[in-house]
Amino acid sequence: MKKTDALLAVYERLYAAYGPQHWWPGNSAFEVMVGAILTQSAAWLNVEKGIDNLKSAGVLSPAAFRQTPVEEIARLIHPCGYFNAKARKLKALVEWLRQSCNDDINRLSAIDTAKLRRQLLAVHGIGQETADSILLYACDRPVFVIDAYTRRILGRLSMAPAKDAYGNFQWMFMRHLRHDVRFFNEYHALLVRLGKTVCRKLPLCQECPLFDICLHNSAR
């Protein structure tokens, strides 16, 4: 099976099993950016607690973040774990927003995707997965996000690239699938759904919609 057909077959099976995921949850592009940092090494339920704390404190805007001491931000996002480090990362993010677009995230649309990605990667605490999450979910750029779930699932399907590197996984999706924001959004969200609920470190193979095409399932 050609790579494009194989990737589309995975998507179609997951979509048939789980339906639309309505991801990423957030009331604004800035909230999505904040969530992309808070979710690093954290369960989403805890991220929601942190975001709710920020909202309740009236801190969920770039200007409010800059005016709030880093210690207070750390206290508010405590449920997310690594709260001191993440508070510093959020401070760096809002400083970049001030410099790059004067806090008007809509103005980022004038920046080429590759250049915008390089700028994000230069911000303290933003790596490839976080940068691509911001690009796709906050800035509506057709960039495929690679995470641990995606790598695990493709590895078990024997579809992983020869070299286990973020860029190689991303290239495979970007090379063989149409560049569409909504499609990339849904595909990534479906992989996350499968990885969280079924394709775990100890997989529940009998519940998997990819069971009959997976070389890792427990029946073999």
- Tens-digit pLDDT profile for residues 134-181: 999 999 999 999 999 999 999 999 999 999 999 999 999 999 999 999
Question: Which regions of the chain are under pLDDT 50?
Answer: 218-220
Whether residues 123 and 196 fall in one domain: no
120 neighbors 95 (Cβ within 8 angstroms): no
Residues with Cβ < 8 Å from 150, sequence gap 6 or more? 169, 188, 191, 195
Does residue 219 belong to any structural domain of this protein? no
Examine the fold and report which residue of 110, 138, 166 is the final residue of a domain before the chain moves on.
Answer: 138
Whether residues 35 and 122 fall in one domain: yes
Whether residues 81 and 10 fall in one domain: no
Does residue 220 belong to any structural domain of this protein? no
Examine the fold and report which residue of 97, 117, 138 is the final residue of a domain before the chain moves on.
Answer: 138
**pLDDT attached to residue 25:** 84
Q: How many domains does the chain have?
A: 2
Whether residues 183 and 90 fall in one domain: no
User: Would you state the structure tokens that stand for residue 157, as one six-digit string?
Assistant: 């399907």
Examine the fold and report which residue of 105, 138, 171 is the final residue of a domain before the chain moves on.
Answer: 138
**pLDDT attached to residue 28:** 95
Whether residues 128 and 151 fall in one domain: no
Q: What is the CATH number of the domain that holds 179?
A: 1.10.1670.10
SS3 state of residue 178: coil
Whether residues 113 and 164 fall in one domain: no
Sign of the CA dihedral with 200 first, then 203, 208, and 210 last: positive
**pLDDT attached to residue 203:** 94
Whether residues 154 and 113 fall in one domain: no
- Residue 162's domain comprises 3-22+145-213
Whether residues 117 and 66 fall in one domain: yes
